[in-house]
Amino acid sequence: MRLLLLLFLSLMLMGFEDKPLSDDELEQRAMELFERLGCPVCEGQSLGGSSSDLATSIRNVVREKLSEGMSEEEAVRYLELRYGERIRLSPKFEGGKVVVWILPVLIFFALCIFIVFRARSFRGD
């Protein structure tokens, strides 16, 4: 029983170990991609900077996908299907998301213009 438990624990620990690629160019591409991707567990931290088990596992998956011939964008799309768009540290600007980013700025400028005109109308009275 102890042997089985020891075997199980050693297999679990082996799974959460970074396994760098032998191809230096491919490993460099993977490292650059790790800095653009976020850890799903650690809020606001990149995959490259996270030491969580999940981040280690995702790094190994990315290395595997790149070594299979996937491009960086294909690997990111693969991870987005599994973890959602939150896996990106900087979100894509497309569709309705642009409105979410621009609307607060437009509201701010509209309020500034409103305040200026309102202040002028009070001086005129």
Same domain? 72 vs 61: yes
Residue 84, sorted as left (phi over 0), alpha (psi -120 to 50) or beta, turns out to be left
Mean pLDDT for all residues in the chain: 82
State residue 47's pLDDT score.
Answer: 86
Same domain? 61 vs 108: no
Same domain? 79 vs 57: yes
What is the pLDDT confidence band of residue 113, given thresholds at 50, 70 and 90? very high
Task: Give the total number of structural domains in the chain.
Answer: 2
How far apart, in whole angstroms, are the C-alpha atoms of residue 34 and residue 65?
A: 13
Same domain? 84 vs 117: no
Same domain? 12 vs 63: yes
> By mean pLDDT, which of 52-61, 91-100, 102-111 is the weakest?
91-100
Q: Say whether pTM exceeds 0.85.
A: no
State residue 116's pLDDT score.
Answer: 93
Task: Show the DSSP H helices in 16-85 as ranges.
Answer: 24-36, 53-67, 72-83
Average pLDDT over residues 96-100: 73
Same domain? 88 vs 98: no
Same domain? 78 vs 40: yes
Same domain? 19 vs 52: yes
Residue-number span of the structural domain to which 6 is assigned:
2-92
Same domain? 75 vs 109: no
Same domain? 65 vs 102: no
